[in-house]
């Protein structure tokens, strides 16, 4: 806690392997000061039902929200078996939040209305705070992120949004989110924050398109499944194009051989989650027949991270960088033995956050990116 005490946003990391009462340790570290909101990112090791009840009973905040992770980012850099928490004090922040359930059958008009109400509530709390952003947490196994973030962003108007899809390590079994003691699957949480602190929302990846093309000729969009690529069975054709034995396809291969879709002069990663038993490829984001994809070429991931974080700190050191970092980036860093270098950069720039099953940036659900917010002290306008 020593570093956090001098900062605006309070951050806490609890090692589950070292603590017999992690919830108690987290509550003690956050203290009794009033928070506008507290974001909690919990390893899959945590029994969320019991844990969230303890937090709700003892923390001084009207909005306590969080998610299960695919790994954590704390003061040590990349980590696992942790609980990471961010406390936004009422002296610099005002917040309004809501959980949205039944994402399989959403009422889009009602969602838009509720998001507008969140904005109005946050603004009413502190008219003198001029800066506003939105944070989104979505069940990373719901397969509803694309439609939901579009709906939310439309209602937010000019307010910038970033977020992450909850995870479950590499098990891909259950990725709930939680809000004020409620633990829910197939749900999302929208948080709107007002502040006197300047901020920058960002989205970055370290890829460039190559000449290796893949055309999706068979897909089941609602399940994010690709059945055919180039009129051939999907998994063997992908393996052929990237030069890998089909029997060796794994999350590590998908991380190091990503595919992207180009929209104008920009590209967006369409990351593969896994190979199904029938040879279909399941994706982390929306996919449809007729999409033209290319295999991406990767820059050095740690050098790119250094450039991104240095740029965010060029004019003023952020009080905090809160990051939603795709699990496939961590897997690539592990495979290429870049974890030590990545963690060093994350520590240097005070980055906290979690590894995700997908990321949200304004109106888009994306994959294999680093997405987040840099929050600066209020005296640097």
Q: What is the pLDDT of residue 264?
A: 66
**Residue ranges per structural domain of the chain:** 2-204+302-375, 207-298
- Tell me whether residue 315 is exposed, middle or buried, using C-beta atoms within 10 angstroms of its C-beta: 0 to 12, 13 to 18, 19 or more: exposed
Q: Give, for all 381 residues of the chain, the pLDDT tens digit.
A: 334 446 899 999 999 999 999 999 999 999 999 999 999 999 999 999 999 999 999 999 999 999 999 999 999 999 999 999 999 999 999 999 999 998 988 899 999 999 999 999 999 999 999 999 999 999 999 999 999 999 999 999 999 999 999 999 999 999 999 999 999 999 999 999 999 999 999 999 999 878 889 999 999 999 999 999 999 999 999 999 999 999 999 988 998 888 998 776 778 888 899 999 999 999 998 899 999 999 988 899 999 999 999 999 998 999 999 999 999 999 999 999 999 999 999 999 999 999 999 999 999 999 999 999 999 999 644
Contact residues for 189 (Cβ-Cβ < 8 A; gap 6+): 65, 97, 98, 99, 100, 136, 137, 138, 177, 179
Q: Any idea of the CA torsion for 26, 30, 34, 37, to the nearest 10 degrees?
A: -60
């Amino acid at each position: 806690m020593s570093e956090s005490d001098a900062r605006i946003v309070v951050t806490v990391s609890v090692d589950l392997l070292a603590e017999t009462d992690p919830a108690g340790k987290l509550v003690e570290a956050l203290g009794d000061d009033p928070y506008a909101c507290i974001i909690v990112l919990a390893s899959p090791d945590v029994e969320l039902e019991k844990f969230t009840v303890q937090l709700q009973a003892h923390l001084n905040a009207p909005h306590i929200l969080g998610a299960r992770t695919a790994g954590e980012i704390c003061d040590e850099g990349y980590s696992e078996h942790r609980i990471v928490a961010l406390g936004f004090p009422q002296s610099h922040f005002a917040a309004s939040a809501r959980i949205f359930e039944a994402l399989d059958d959403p009422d889009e008009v009602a969602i838009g209305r509720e998001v507008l109400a969140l904005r109005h509530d946050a603004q009413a709390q502190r008219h003198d705070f001029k800066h506003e952003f939105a944070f989104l947490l979505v069940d990373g196994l719901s397969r509803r992120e694309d439609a939901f973030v579009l709906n939310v962003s439309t209602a937010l108007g000019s307010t910038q949004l970033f977020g992450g899809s909850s995870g479950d390590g590499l098990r891909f079994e259950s990725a709930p989110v939680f809000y004020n003691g409620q633990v829910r699957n197939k749900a999302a949480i929208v948080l709107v924050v007002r502040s006197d602190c300047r901020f920058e929302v960002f989205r970055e990846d370290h890829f460039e398109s190559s000449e290796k093309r893949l055309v999706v000729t068979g897909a089941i969009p609602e399940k994010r499944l690709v059945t055919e690529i180039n009129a051939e069975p999907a998994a063997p054709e992908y393996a052929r194009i990237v030069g890998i034995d089909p029997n060796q396809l794994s999350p590590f291969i998908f991380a190091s051989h990503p595919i992207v879709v180009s929209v104008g002069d920009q590209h967006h990663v369409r990351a593969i989650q896994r190979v199904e038993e029938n040879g279909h490829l399941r994706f982390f984001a929306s996919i449809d027949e007729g999409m033209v994809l290319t295999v991406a070429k990767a820059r050095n991931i740690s050098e790119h991270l250094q450039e991104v974080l240095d740029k965010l700190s060029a004019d003023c050191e952020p009080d905090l960088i809160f990051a939603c970092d795709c699990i496939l980036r961590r897997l690539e860093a592990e495979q290429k033995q870049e974890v030590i270098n990545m963690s060093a950069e994350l520590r240097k720039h005070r980055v906290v956050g979690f590894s995700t099953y997908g990321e949200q940036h304004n109106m888009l659900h994306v994959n294999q990116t680093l997405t987040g917010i840099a929050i600066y002290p209020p005296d640097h306008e």
